Structure 1
Amino acid sequence: MCGIAGWVDFERDLRQERGTAQDMTDTMACRGPDDEGLWTDRHAAIGHRRLAIIDLEGGRQPMIAEDEGREQAVLTYSGEVYNFEELREELSGRGHRFRTRSDTEVVLRAYLEWGEDLAGHLNGMFAFGIWDARSESLLLVRDRMGIKPLYYYPTPHGVLFGSEPKAILANPLARRVLDADGLRELLAFVKTPEHGVLSGMYEVRPGQLVTVSRQGLVKRRYWELSSHEHQDDVGSTVKTVRGLLDDIVARQLISDVPLCALLSGGLDSSMVTALAAKLLREQGLGTVRSFSVDFAGYTENFKPDLTRSTPDAPYVHQLARHAGSDHTDIVLDSAELMDPEVRAAVLRARDLPMGIGDMDSSLYLLFKAIRGHSTVALSGESADEVFGGYQWFHDPAAVGADTFPWLATPAGTSHVGAERLLKDDLARLVDLPGYRAERYRQALSEVPRLPGESGHERRMREISYLHLTRFVQILLDRKDRMSMAVGLEVRVPFCDHRLVEYVFNVPWAMKTFDGREKSLLRAASADLLPDSILQRVKSPYPATQDPGYDRALRERASGLLQMADSPAAALVDWDKARAIVAGPPSPASRAALERFVQLDRWLRRYRIELAI
């Protein structure tokens, strides 16, 4: 999977800056524990940390293409290209010669053949940088759905880039400044494309190319969702969805290292696990390993809440027996979730105080445990965005609200509880309601319209677009940071762009043809899953219900309120924070306290300069 980092400067000799470039590369060690490399030339430094998945011996990076001893291009690449075998065959037919079996070399040769148009030929999850020594220009590329992250920071004479902000922040040219707009983005829960939160830092947008040369920086989209008439009937649509998933999962099972599946007992992860098990058996490769997360006493003491009506464990075990997977439960307790070292590792992985608390800690611990057995995992992530699985897709009030639908439900408002902590004058300055409204209007202006589409179908196309370009990024970022923090590659079959493009254009009435959420996926999975799982109501990733966790969190927050030197005091109203600590437990108060605790640690550890 790997981590990448780089520096281009047209006014410096970067051969003299190798130490700084190495520092940038070293921050990516968690993403690439198996190998490292750093290439420097007068105006470019290209770094790489490797997690070896395909061609363990031959895929070393940065990878250099030469012609008669002269360097043509240098690649630092993170991700997987699932159609690399077909591309290698095509490129071989065009005269290219390959030294390795790796998809990395296929990407490099594809660049030499097609230039920046190579991105349109790739199927997979990827983020990479290519320094073209012939033109002295840098090309940054991110996959269509933004599965793999890629950040950049323009400088007066070039650019810094990396898989994560920490790679960029390791360079003294990058300032650690949070301004009012950054605070808005940090707290709004809207995930604006390209916004990097810290001032001067940006994300390469999913499906975007960024070119940096002496002439400046240029951005171009090579892919975006488009609208067209859906011609298939229900039966043909279900058949197409299943055919796509068969091909996608088969491609994503290719690995030279141990592979497993993440299993929650819901429709999405169960479908991926069962399909993987079926395909492996048919290939004579045994069965798939599966892993799930649970909390001590969770199932026995489970209480339904706004979003979860059932615990996962009974369904997980039903599916494991049904599919014949080699299953392991990873059971956590509150002490582990509140462990200061774990929470510090989560913050280090995130680079931002996202305030999700135990749901980040538990995912990190789950992935850490899995990494002891497997290097690659398949996930059911993103099926809800693609097929319309969340409750608010089916809530008329949320659908009709003049805002992002995930913010228009009682469950959704808990995610924005942190703004209750802001000082009154700061709350007025950042105006989060106004910021959300502005970002919502911006997102709606991008929706590709279908001529003649109106009413509910038009609105549901908007809702789908908002999720596929905004909400999914929140979850993909979380998945990526927690998995790569322990060197685990997580693949997301439901993010294959062919499936996303096809289902996006299926009318909403067909997506709900059986009167339920995710009708198409349920029908496409019918032969793979037991009826209990096919009919199970959507249940999101679990959060601990242990009262001890809430007490520990309040104690942590209370301790911070006693500290006179807390940098969070510049943003947080101490009286408001004390009232929340002393008040009754609720999802909103928990979210606020999680953010408060993490914000204090972030401002300290990252030495953030406030410009608000």
Structure 2
Amino acid sequence: MTDTLACRGPDAEGIWLSGHAAFGHRRLAVIDVEGGKQPMTAESRAATQPFVLTFSGEIYNFRELRNELISHGHTFRTKSDTEVALRSYLQWGVSFAERLNGMYAMGLWDPRSQELILVRDRMGIKPLYYFPTHHGVIFGSEPKAILRHPAVPSQVSADGLREVLDMVKTPEHAVYSGMYEIRPGYLLRVNRSGLTKHRYWALEARPHVDELNTTVETVRDLLADTVQRQMVSDVPLATLLSGGIDSSAVTALAVDTVEPGTLRSFSVDFSKTLDAFEPDAVRGAADAPFARELAQHVHSNHTEIMLDSRELLDPAVRSAVLAATDLPPAYWGDMWPSLYLLFREVRKHCTVALSGEAADELFGGYRWFHNPRAVGADTFPWLTSGSSRYFGGLRLLDASLLEKLDIPGYRAARYREALAEVPTLPGESGIERRMREITYLNLTRFVQTLLDRKDRMSMAVGLEVRVPFCDHRLVEYVFNVPWSMKSFDRREKSLLRAAVGDLLPSSILTRAKTPYPTTQDPDYELGLRKEMQGILADQDAPVRPLLDTEKVRTALARPKEAVSRSYSRGSLELAVWLNRWLTEYDVSLTI
């Protein structure tokens, strides 16, 4: 089980065993490279056996907590944040999670109560899965670790397949039957009495009393403090720079925390795009010129990583992507291998990178925040007409399968569940209440998919990606800023633009939201067609019973000049990824 996570932790491994618990750990050394080995133990007068911790992630306020713990009489043998987390539990018990600022997934053994405690960070930046058994629980950072256990079948039910095929990301659902993902902001306690869940953090609706100028200043202060905290590292660190406002703001703030000219930044694009970029309905301009301008503006040591679309089709790359995700990338099919290739290149130079992920969900950057039809629709806004070009890939599936799965009905049920969770304020106006709902849906459903993708593709090559916009203090504050203030100048992310306006060139400050680049190379779809033709020729291909083969043949018969952009090839992408997943994971579908 531990070996399956070797890519997440290439620097060291460790196993701890006792009569009732077994921990395995793979380490990516970032803080206290020599001293932070895991699983980590700590002795206490309260127990004859040691307390034990296995931990993935970073605690950004570990220095303040360390000083507080020393004042309580604790002594430390390492300089690691791991030991701070462990001794925080010794001091405060399960309430220790409320004191942590960071991204983390933890398994902790308490010898006094012979109890396992599993903890996940507030925003779900780090993954954590578990599988209850008759005698306890099996847990791991990724499903593959759990699936390696002989007691766990690689089985997927109808609901699991629905989760794969639709962009709903139901909290706790792990796709594989009997397996669960710990919800962000939760901890689990497993002891002789069974398994209990405890929520230690949730988004809350609070009155916003600050006027606009104070709000802008507060956002700036919180973001600057967050970036400064997340720059702490004992290994080389960089930023991921697209030239958009989010990553540019993070890079500009990060530059101020290091010696001039020493911060590395990385951007990505496709080699053919630079020579022949064609604007479309989603991307108005290539990223490279904007990233270069920002790098020159803040004097970062910038590197442009150029990808060849053929690399995205490399069987070794696609196998690595699937092995990292444990699921088929059912949407944005080419983004997963391109992210993997980007991170693999960055990892040659750095071990840690800061990203601008989650700013759009928090500040209202996506088009569906500003599209009245999407806002007013009775469903997830990213799945409405005009917003879902990346998420609809079911056209090649068999009609009887789709009827059985009833994706629209499943989506509607999940949407109603999500709406029922949204905290609101008494007397909140219609549009303000609805935009709070839209923001909540984005922060608890949509961004979870993006954070998961970024974590899997980065950790697959041993790169730790940090996300300052997920700092819970910033999230709590901005969530409660009224929509009228978030959009005060009638542009997307008005509040963020105002907060970082003095840091950025005007060209970047006024740039429209542009998503992560996808390949415009028609040879990419031709490569997908070739793989699909091989599937059609293989009578034993496991995806064949799920497909309408006549529709597949029609799609493959289109002339080469009819090859279109990435957002219309989703059905083909989905089919080939499904086949790889069903084959390589030997999945048993019970639908």
- SS of the residue 1:298 aligns to: helix
- Superposition deviation, residue 589 in structure 1: 4.2
Asked if residue 30 in structure 1 is aligned to residue 3 in structure 2, the reply is no
Give the partner amino acid of 1:313. A
What per-residue deviation string (whole Å, max 9, x for no partner) do you get for residues 464-495 of structure 1? 00000000001000000000000000000000
Task: Quote the residue 2:172 is aligned against.
Answer: 194
- In 2, Cα distance between the equivalents of 1:205 and 1:96? 31
- SS of the residue 2:258 aligns to: helix
What per-residue deviation string (whole Å, max 9, x for no partner) do you get for residues 206-227 of structure 1? 0011111111111111100000
- SS of the residue 1:479 aligns to: helix
- SS of the residue 1:300 aligns to: helix
- In 1, Cα distance between the equivalents of 2:387 and 2:218? 34
- Superposition deviation, residue 276 in structure 1: 0.7
What per-residue deviation string (whole Å, max 9, x for no partner) do you get for residues 37-68 of structure 1? 00011111101100000001110000111236
Q: RMSD value over aligned CA atoms?
A: 1.2
CA contact (8 A) 1:392 1:409 kept: no
Task: Report which stretch shifted further, 567-576 or 180-189.
Answer: 567-576
Asked if residue 558 in structure 1 is aligned to residue 533 in structure 2, the reply is yes
- SS of the residue 1:599 aligns to: helix
- SS of the residue 1:421 aligns to: coil
Give the partner amino acid of 2:301. D
- In 2, Cα distance between the equivalents of 1:598 and 1:557? 10
- SS of the residue 1:279 aligns to: coil
Asked if residue 43 in structure 1 is aligned to residue 58 in structure 2, the reply is no
- SS of the residue 1:526 aligns to: helix
Asked if residue 324 in structure 1 is aligned to residue 303 in structure 2, the reply is no
CA contact (8 A) 2:352 2:466 kept: yes
What per-residue deviation string (whole Å, max 9, x for no partner) do you get for residues 413-444 of structure 1? 44121x22222221111100001100000000
Task: Report which stretch shifted further, 184-193 or 422-431.
Answer: 422-431
Task: Quote the residue 1:365 is aligned against.
Answer: 341
TM-score, scaled to structure 1:
0.94
- Within 5 Å, give how 1:395-414 maps onto structure 2: 395-414=371-390
- In 2, Cα distance between the equivalents of 1:260 and 1:178? 39
- Superposition deviation, residue 279 in structure 1: 2.3
Task: Report which stretch shifted further, 426-435 or 354-363.
Answer: 354-363
CA contact (8 A) 1:566 1:600 kept: yes
Task: Quote the residue 2:287 is aligned against.
Answer: 312
Task: Quote the residue 1:18 is aligned against.
Answer: none
- In 2, Cα distance between the equivalents of 1:580 and 1:71? 63
- In 1, Cα distance between the equivalents of 2:483 and 2:44? 53
- In 2, Cα distance between the equivalents of 1:278 and 1:408? 41
- SS of the residue 2:189 aligns to: strand
Asked if residue 116 in structure 1 is aligned to residue 91 in structure 2, the reply is no
Asked if residue 376 in structure 1 is aligned to residue 360 in structure 2, the reply is no
- SS of the residue 1:276 aligns to: helix
1:416 alignment partner, one of 389, 392, 407 = 392
- Within 5 Å, give how 1:78-157 maps onto structure 2: 78-157=56-135
- SS of the residue 1:128 aligns to: strand
Give the partner amino acid of 1:599. L
- Superposition deviation, residue 73 in structure 1: 1.3
- Superposition deviation, residue 561 in structure 1: 0.9
1:298–1:286 distance in 2 versus 1, CA, 3 Å: closer
2:578 alignment partner, one of 599, 605, 608 = 599
What per-residue deviation string (whole Å, max 9, x for no partner) do you get for residues 539-583 of structure 1? 000000011111111111122111111011232222222223334
CA contact (8 A) 2:374 2:387 kept: no
- Superposition deviation, residue 286 in structure 1: 4.7
- In 2, Cα distance between the equivalents of 1:522 and 1:41? 53
- Within 5 Å, give how 1:169-208 maps onto structure 2: 169-208=147-186
Task: Report which stretch shifted further, 141-150 or 306-315.
Answer: 306-315
Task: Report which stretch shifted further, 154-163 or 549-558.
Answer: 549-558
What per-residue deviation string (whole Å, max 9, x for no partner) do you get for residues 160-212 of structure 1? 10000000011011111111010111111110110000111100000011111
- In 2, Cα distance between the equivalents of 1:561 and 1:249? 50
- Superposition deviation, residue 458 in structure 1: 0.7
Task: Report which stretch shifted further, 271-280 or 162-171.
Answer: 271-280
2:328 alignment partner, one of 318, 334, 353 = 353
- SS of the residue 1:280 aligns to: coil
Task: Quote the residue 1:5 is aligned against.
Answer: none
Task: Quote the residue 2:241 is aligned against.
Answer: 263
Give the partner amino acid of 2:316. E
- Superposition deviation, residue 299 in structure 1: 2.6
What percentage of aligned pairs have identical amino acids?
Answer: 63
Give the partner amino acid of 1:397. R
- SS of the residue 2:391 aligns to: helix
- In 2, Cα distance between the equivalents of 1:179 and 1:571? 14
Q: Which 5+ residue runs of structure 2 have no aligned equivalent?
A: none
CA contact (8 A) 1:306 1:411 kept: no
Task: Quote the residue 2:214 is aligned against.
Answer: 236
- In 1, Cα distance between the equivalents of 2:390 and 2:14? 43
- In 2, Cα distance between the equivalents of 1:51 and 1:588? 35
- In 1, Cα distance between the equivalents of 2:345 and 2:191? 43
Aligned pairs, how many? 585
CA contact (8 A) 1:53 1:255 kept: yes
- Superposition deviation, residue 304 in structure 1: 1.7
- Within 5 Å, give how 1:286-301 maps onto structure 2: 286-301=261-276
Task: Quote the residue 1:249 is aligned against.
Answer: 227
- In 1, Cα distance between the equivalents of 2:389 and 2:488? 30
Task: Report which stretch shifted further, 93-102 or 352-361.
Answer: 352-361
- Within 5 Å, give how 1:380-459 maps onto structure 2: 380-417=356-393, 419-459=394-434
CA contact (8 A) 1:31 1:50 kept: yes
- In 2, Cα distance between the equivalents of 1:585 and 1:503? 42
Give the partner amino acid of 2:355. S
What per-residue deviation string (whole Å, max 9, x for no partner) do you get for residues 116-171 of structure 1? 11100000000000011221111000000000000001111111100000000110
- In 2, Cα distance between the equivalents of 1:550 and 1:464? 34
- SS of the residue 1:65 aligns to: strand
CA contact (8 A) 2:132 2:179 kept: yes
Task: Quote the residue 2:502 is aligned against.
Answer: 527
- In 2, Cα distance between the equivalents of 1:77 and 1:578? 49
- Within 5 Å, give how 1:493-508 maps onto structure 2: 493-508=468-483
Task: Report which stretch shifted further, 107-116 or 62-71.
Answer: 62-71
Give the partner amino acid of 2:233. S
- In 1, Cα distance between the equivalents of 2:303 and 2:237? 14
Q: Which 5+ residue runs of structure 1 have no aligned equivalent?
A: 1-23
- SS of the residue 1:290 aligns to: strand
- In 2, Cα distance between the equivalents of 1:426 and 1:564? 19
CA contact (8 A) 1:270 1:529 kept: yes
Task: Quote the residue 1:67 is aligned against.
Answer: 44
- Superposition deviation, residue 588 in structure 1: 5.1
- Superposition deviation, residue 529 in structure 1: 0.4
- In 2, Cα distance between the equivalents of 1:533 and 1:512? 18
- Superposition deviation, residue 411 in structure 1: 4.3
Give the partner amino acid of 2:397. L
- SS of the residue 2:433 aligns to: helix
1:527–1:287 distance in 2 versus 1, CA, 3 Å: farther
- In 1, Cα distance between the equivalents of 2:359 and 2:553? 40
Task: Quote the residue 1:10 is aligned against.
Answer: none
Give the partner amino acid of 1:369. E
- Superposition deviation, residue 455 in structure 1: 1.2
- Superposition deviation, residue 300 in structure 1: 2.5
CA contact (8 A) 2:522 2:563 kept: no
